[in-house]
Amino acid sequence: MTAPSSAPSGATTSSSGPAAETIQIPVVAPAAAKKPRAGWADVAKGVCILLVVLWHVIMKMYLTIDWHLPVPLPGLWGAFGDMLLPLRMPVFFMISGMFALSATARPWSVVARSRIARFYYLYLLWFVVHTTVLAMVPDFDTLAAHSALDVLEQITITPTNLWYLFALALYFVIAKVTRKLPTWAVLVPALALSAIASAGLLAAPGNRGQLYQNLFFFLLGLRFRPLVERWAQVATLRHVVVGGVVYGAAMVAIQVLDLKFVFGVWPAVCLLAVALGVAVAVQLDRLRRVGPMLARLGQQTLPIYVIHMPLLALVTAAVVGPFSAVGTAPQLVLAVVLPVVLTALLASVCLTLHSWLMSAGATWLFDLPAFSRRARRGSPATTAGSPARPDPGPGAAGTY
């Protein structure tokens, strides 16, 4: 730093005689205060990753049990999972878009390496892990590759249950390409694509439809971050109650009147769910014990996202038969508590395995190897837990 011609305020001067030479020692200004983390965003991610795991538990294990009960408890759990469909992934992608703003302003070489390659690397890596484990449990009801053609399709156009990672890699390309376009020129086509796909007007096998439907919410968070933050600042418990009633009524109407595939209905209810999800996260963040716990979970979504499905497949193979054969009384207990208990257990085991793997030096399982080495050398590259990086979601790459 070059010293100015006159000593700045706070500079130290030294003189000797009337023609003394002034020695200026520049004062280093303190670093700008780091912007505080948006606690509600971490809380929202923590809730969403639990809801993702809960959804998979219900649909892929719980409802496959042969229940013989006098009350429709399994059906109620299924209906509960369906009610939250418009909330889980749209909220995740909106928050990912909010945290992607600074990244998309960087040069292509940086974005390609730190975002696009990173997310796609994690998708391919865990695709291999999932495919290997799921081959051992072929009866588990989920998308898996059974041939070379399946592998080719699932790593290019029809992603597996790891599709959130695939989507982020793709969305960063789109966000970077369209960065200088007007907001309306980006969001209107994305919203139209979401409406077309959700109405069943576009061929979308497997999880391809999710790629079409959720791009809008990623770009919404990217382009309207200040608006979302303002909503988080003013959201109150009253907003949660009113919004919850409206959202519940909308979901009931969709089910009763069979409106899900009416053009524009599903994106509209997803927008309502996103607003409600932010308001709920703000309220949870204010709870002394619950808020910090969910926020910590929201900073560690990646290991839960990538590990829970293989574990669930193995658990399903082990317990569905025995749980189907037990008596009515034990089944009543299982029908009530199994989804919650298994969701909590899977999340806990995923985080434990992640801790062991990281301690063993297997950082390459959760980050692009070059970035893991850079982080160990103390580089300023962002690391898991940083609010400046998008959370891959359901957690995905780097639980930002």
Chain-wide mean pLDDT for the chain? 87
Q: Which residues of 248-262 are buried (b: 16+ CB within 10 A; e: fewer)?
A: eebbeebeeeeebee
The model's confidence at residue 36, banded by pLDDT at 50, 70 and 90, is: low
The tokens describing 136, both together, are 């051992």
* pTM for the model: 0.85
* Percent of the chain topping pLDDT 70: 83
The tokens describing 103, both together, are 């990244």
Helix (H) or strand (E) holding 48: helix 39-60
The tokens describing 89, both together, are 């992934």
Average pLDDT rounded to a whole number, residues 3-13:
40
Residue closest to 250 by CA, chosen among 240, 259, 261: 259
d(CA 400, CA 393): 9
- For the cut 90, the answer to whether the pLDDT of residue 385 exceeds it is no
CB count within 10 Å of CB 346 equals 22
The amino acid sitting at 41 is A
The model's confidence at residue 304, banded by pLDDT at 50, 70 and 90, is: very high
Average pLDDT rounded to a whole number, residues 226-254:
97
d(CA 155, CA 206): 12
303 in Cβ contact with 44 (< 8 Å) = no
The tokens describing 166, both together, are 């695939």
pLDDT, residue 38, reads 74
- For the cut 90, the answer to whether the pLDDT of residue 3 exceeds it is no
Q: Kindly calculate the radius of gyration of the chain based on its CA atoms and give it in whole angstroms.
A: 25
Check residues 133 and 29 and name the one with the higher pLDDT. 133
CB count within 10 Å of CB 370 equals 15
d(CA 85, CA 82): 5
Q: Read off the pLDDT of residues 71-114 as tens digits, 9 standing for 90 and up.
A: 999 999 999 999 999 999 999 999 999 999 999 999 999 999 99
Helix axes 39-60, 328-359, angle to 10 degrees: 130
The model's confidence at residue 27, banded by pLDDT at 50, 70 and 90, is: very low
d(CA 25, CA 8): 9
Q: Which residues of 60-71 are buried (b: 16+ CB within 10 A; e: fewer)?
A: bbbbbbebeeee
The model's confidence at residue 379, banded by pLDDT at 50, 70 and 90, is: very low
List strand residue ranges (DSSP E) for the chain, in order.
none
3-state secondary structure of 366: coil
Q: Read off the pLDDT of residues 128-151 as tens digits, 9 standing for 90 and up.
A: 999 999 999 999 999 999 999 999
CB count within 10 Å of CB 198 equals 25
Residue closest to 229 by CA, chosen among 37, 10, 27: 37
- For the cut 50, the answer to whether the pLDDT of residue 1 exceeds it is no
**What long-range pairs does 56-60 form, CB within 8 A, spacing at least 24?**
56/161, 56/308, 56/309, 56/312, 57/312, 57/338, 57/339, 57/342, 57/343, 57/346, 58/339, 59/141, 60/140, 60/141, 60/142, 60/312, 60/313, 60/316
